[in-house]
Structure 1
Amino acid sequence: MTREDLGDILNLIAIVEEGSFTKAAARLGVSQSTLSHGIRRLEERLGILLLARTTRSVASTPAGERLMEIVRPAFTDIAARLSDLRSSQARPAGTIRITTPEHAARTLLLPAVKLFVADYPDITVELVIDSHLTDIVAERFDAGVRIGELIAKDMIAISIGPPMRMAAVASPAYFANYPLPKSPRDLAAHCCINQRLSAGSLYAWEFAKAGQKLRVRVGGNIVLNRVPLIVDAALAGCGIAFVIEDQVESEMREGTLLRVLEDWCEPFDGYHLYYANHRQQSLAFSLFVEALRRTASTASLALNRLAWRSDEDKL
């Protein structure tokens, strides 16, 4: 590989990431014609077409996609190592981008971020709220946070929260008109508050008891995509909601929401921070991971104390 190849490949990566010659040229600080000429030279030297161009867009050809799969991880690793080298000579700096569900952001990440940015004022932490299974490499995130069982096996995953449980709840006013369900199958006769996931589908309620697992597609004429609204709808007597139990812990304790099917709600893996195992992480990211581990440990102890008090109240 020649020095000229390296420069043109870097230009190719910028074009693919930006999806436009114009935007890539602005990002690289070169003219669009210079960029276009360099890509043509690269295609001629390799003897393959790398980009499919139209008047409105540009996209990788299959050969271009294969080349990107080979070179982008290597260049990303080099950039991370150079950034780490620079950081080791000065105060840690940079931006950390993380995709996370809102619940994890509120309960685990924000407490860590608050302390972290106070200790490292030159580091910016960006949290992007999304419950979809984001491709963190393609979307250029440093890491993501998801339930442990949902994370791909080729990722490095670090537990940052305790096991969790779901809770099926409704208001006393609702249960004044409907019988208490004894089994998830009884939900077919109930009004349930559905949740629309960011991917577009409706969440299928998942239950487990003594090795038996059930996925229930519930009925109901209310569909919401934010948990606080789902809880509000349950409080208003609109039907049964199915949410993570700490999201309705105070309402259950105060009796404004009644829990049902608790014996069908077994604990499951809590939140994990995950990131690509082939990527060299920056010093800023490594410091954030350590801070998150410390904060998560404190949060786990607090949640465990809440669970202990809840169990004690039942005695």
Structure 2
Amino acid sequence: MKTSGLVELEAVLAVARHRSFRAAADELSVSTSALSHAVAALEARIGVRLFNRTTRSVALTEAGAQFVGSVAPALSTIREALDQAGSFRDTPSGTLRINASVGAAKQVMPVFIAYLQRYPEMKLDLVTEGRLIDIVVEGYDAGIRLAETVPQDMIAVPFGDRQRFAVVGSPEYFAKHKPPRTPADLKAHRCIRSRMPSGQIYQWEFERRGQAVRVDVEGTLTLDEPGLMLAAARDGLGLAYLTEWNVNADLAGGTLVRVLEDWTPPLDGLCLYYTGRRHAPAGLRALIETIREHADAVRKRAAAPAKKSRRGAATGG
């Protein structure tokens, strides 16, 4: 097989995934012109046009769709063979493509930094988006999401502590509005509504003593990014429903006040997940090990203050 053969096939699959030569070129770290020449060379060699191109769009032809459907599994098998051979290296190398929500990516960045420092021959390609995707179809090695959203056919590696949501508002807001005591009281409050990637408005979820409640809150502001919701809550525009990870600093600093805490039980935390249908590449196995080491370190740090607190309680401190 010519060396260029695999490059051309990877180029076709990348363009098919992104429906864009520019985005595919960015993924493969090549110029758009080089990618276009690679695809054109393959089309010329097999005598079939694989893509219909216009100035605004790129779409597979019928022949192209059949070609991609046949080539993608074969190329996946070849990649797996290369990964297995590469696993015998002392140091993992290559590129890992990871898909995560923005919040998950922010939380896992310390692990990614430690991973890249430990394995300098590895590269991470992290894509953040709110929508849930099929990481296999979209060409990712792994995803990072809350455990409850991970597909059941995936292998999940827990990362970090359990998480809780929090209803928060500014002191200025509560100076003018009586704090809600139950989720039903939210009907009398201005709330910062959250739009999900699907376009639907998220209904705030609560649970206490086995009673689950969903509230379609009212408000004059609808946003789709936690950082913007946090800023709006600080400015007194209404109540926000965010993860503790997003609001802990503000709660500690007094810029936000929490309500309905007894209605927000903990949820399983983040997981890195990947398919078990093929051999995990060496780079992914190394990332999993780094995540587990980080999780163990977090648990040990969390346990240390608890022991000190018990000693203080025993001595009246």
- CA distance in 2 between counterparts of 1:203 and 1:308 reads 39
Per the alignment, do residues 60 and 176 of structure 1 end up closer, same or farther by CA in structure 2, a change over 3 Å counting?
Answer: same
Per the alignment, do residues 186 and 304 of structure 1 end up closer, same or farther by CA in structure 2, a change over 3 Å counting?
Answer: farther
- CA distance in 2 between counterparts of 1:285 and 1:292 reads 10
Classify the secondary structure of the residue corresponding to 1:88: coil
2:180/2:186 contact within 8 Å kept:
yes
1:179-218 equivalent positions in 2, closer than 5 A: 179-218=178-217
Question: Runs of 5+ in structure 2 lacking a partner?
Answer: 26-31, 313-317
Q: What amino acid sits opposite 2:176 in the alignment?
A: N
The equivalent residue for 1:113 is: 112
The equivalent residue for 1:83 is: 83
2:92/2:119 contact within 8 Å kept:
yes
Q: What is the Cα deviation at residue 135 of structure 1?
A: 2.4
- CA distance in 2 between counterparts of 1:307 and 1:143 reads 34
Q: What is the Cα deviation at residue 15 of structure 1?
A: 2.9
1:8-19 equivalent positions in 2, closer than 5 A: 14-19=11-16
Q: What amino acid sits opposite 1:76 in the alignment?
A: S
- CA distance in 1 between counterparts of 2:247 and 2:307 reads 16
Deviates more, 1:180-189 or 1:72-81: 72-81
Question: Runs of 5+ in structure 1 lacking a partner?
Answer: 42-49
- CA distance in 2 between counterparts of 1:256 and 1:288 reads 36
Per the alignment, do residues 215 and 305 of structure 1 end up closer, same or farther by CA in structure 2, a change over 3 Å counting?
Answer: farther
Per the alignment, do residues 114 and 36 of structure 1 end up closer, same or farther by CA in structure 2, a change over 3 Å counting?
Answer: closer
1:25/1:31 contact within 8 Å kept:
no
Classify the secondary structure of the residue corresponding to 2:152: coil
1:145-196 CA-partner distances (Å, limit 9, x unpaired)? 0111111112111111221111101122211221221221221111011223
- CA distance in 2 between counterparts of 1:114 and 1:309 reads 31
Q: What amino acid sits opposite 2:150 in the alignment?
A: I
The alignment's TM-score, normalised by the length of structure 2, stands at 0.78
Deviates more, 1:289-298 or 1:82-91: 82-91
Classify the secondary structure of the residue corresponding to 1:135: coil
Q: What amino acid sits opposite 2:15 in the alignment?
A: E
Per the alignment, do residues 192 and 30 of structure 1 end up closer, same or farther by CA in structure 2, a change over 3 Å counting?
Answer: closer
The equivalent residue for 1:240 is: 239
Deviates more, 1:209-218 or 1:294-303: 294-303
Deviates more, 1:282-291 or 1:196-205: 196-205
- CA distance in 2 between counterparts of 1:79 and 1:167 reads 43
2:13/2:72 contact within 8 Å kept:
no
Deviates more, 1:263-272 or 1:194-203: 194-203
Classify the secondary structure of the residue corresponding to 1:215: strand
Identity of aligned residues (%): 35
2:169/2:239 contact within 8 Å kept:
yes
- CA distance in 1 between counterparts of 2:308 and 2:228 reads 27
RMSD in angstroms over aligned alpha carbons?
3.6
Paired residues, number:
298
Per the alignment, do residues 152 and 64 of structure 1 end up closer, same or farther by CA in structure 2, a change over 3 Å counting?
Answer: farther
Classify the secondary structure of the residue corresponding to 2:176: coil
Per the alignment, do residues 31 and 82 of structure 1 end up closer, same or farther by CA in structure 2, a change over 3 Å counting?
Answer: closer
- CA distance in 2 between counterparts of 1:177 and 1:184 reads 19
Classify the secondary structure of the residue corresponding to 2:214: strand
Classify the secondary structure of the residue corresponding to 1:112: helix
1:81/1:281 contact within 8 Å kept:
no
Q: What amino acid sits opposite 2:224 in the alignment?
A: N
Classify the secondary structure of the residue corresponding to 2:42: helix
- CA distance in 1 between counterparts of 2:305 and 2:231 reads 22
Q: What is the Cα deviation at residue 294 of structure 1?
A: 0.9
- CA distance in 2 between counterparts of 1:238 and 1:202 reads 18
Q: What amino acid sits opposite 2:100 in the alignment?
A: T
The equivalent residue for 1:219 is: 218
Classify the secondary structure of the residue corresponding to 2:193: strand
1:121-270 equivalent positions in 2, closer than 5 A: 121-270=120-269
The equivalent residue for 1:103 is: 103
1:20-60 CA-partner distances (Å, limit 9, x unpaired)? 8988994496572x53355557xxxxxxxx96857676645
Classify the secondary structure of the residue corresponding to 1:248: helix
1:25/1:35 contact within 8 Å kept:
no
1:97/1:141 contact within 8 Å kept:
yes
- CA distance in 2 between counterparts of 1:67 and 1:139 reads 17
Q: What is the Cα deviation at residue 244 of structure 1?
A: 0.8
- CA distance in 1 between counterparts of 2:39 and 2:178 reads 70
Q: What is the Cα deviation at residue 204 of structure 1?
A: 2.2
Q: What is the Cα deviation at residue 82 of structure 1?
A: 1.0
The alignment's TM-score, normalised by the length of structure 1, stands at 0.78
Classify the secondary structure of the residue corresponding to 1:114: helix
Q: What is the Cα deviation at residue 270 of structure 1?
A: 0.8
2:154/2:276 contact within 8 Å kept:
yes
Per the alignment, do residues 257 and 63 of structure 1 end up closer, same or farther by CA in structure 2, a change over 3 Å counting?
Answer: same
Classify the secondary structure of the residue corresponding to 1:113: helix
